[in-house]
A = this chain, B = another copy of it.
Amino acid sequence: MSTPSIPVDPPSVTETLTPQKTRRILEAALLTAQEPLAIGELRKLFNNELSAAVISKHLEELREKWHDSGIELTSVASGWRFQTKPDLQPYLERLSPQKAPRYSRAVMETLAIIAYHQPVTRGDIEEIRGVSVSSSILKILAARGWIDEVGHRNVPGKPALFATTQHFLDDLNLRSLQELPPLEAMKSLIDPDNKQPELPLVEPDDACH
């Protein structure tokens, strides 16, 4: 089939391109690029017929042109890109309100058990929670980078042992597991006049036993 709109290859640039057109091309390329564009990339727009210095000069002019708009031309590690200005962020976020998703109770409890009891097997978690732990729960936490397998317990079946990761600490703004909320506060939740032997709560500073 004939494709009537196949563009004719543009003529050699240096002879025909005005500075305005050069900037229009640079602008369009930067506005449509998915990634920042390095000067070397941008030179391809003009069959490498323009020097890096010339392109840089145009970029500075573009930056100036966009100065008081809602977006700005910036230079980042891998090149140049347009990006929104921070003051507009609160407005833009109204378009896609990030309904903060929540983890289910099962996920949170599993995470808590791994955090406070690590390393634990799936069986340990099931024993503590009193219900079976679906592998999707562990997958969610592993995909988030919060837990990983650190070994296997030497019992029949060699179950995997899970522990929390450095990334988990980072995400929760903790410097170490010691900074996890102390669990003693939980005692208050427990029936005060219960005659059970004290529940064996884990104490963060109770280093050994």
Contacts and interface: CB of A to CB of B under 8 A. Distances in A.
Contacts of A95: 29, 33, 37, 41, 44-45
Interface of A: 1, 3, 6-10, 23-25, 27-29, 31-33, 37, 41, 44-47, 69-71, 82, 84-85, 88-95, 98, 100, 102-105, 108
A29 B9 CA distance: 33
Nearest to A44: B94
B1 A69 contact: no
Contact of A1 (B28, B45, B90, B102): B102
A82 B27 CA distance: 13
Given A44-B95, A45-B92, A88-B25, A104 B33 contact: no
Given A24-B70, A69-B24, A70-B24, A91 B3 contact: no
A191 B164 CA distance: 64
Contacts of A29: 91-92, 95
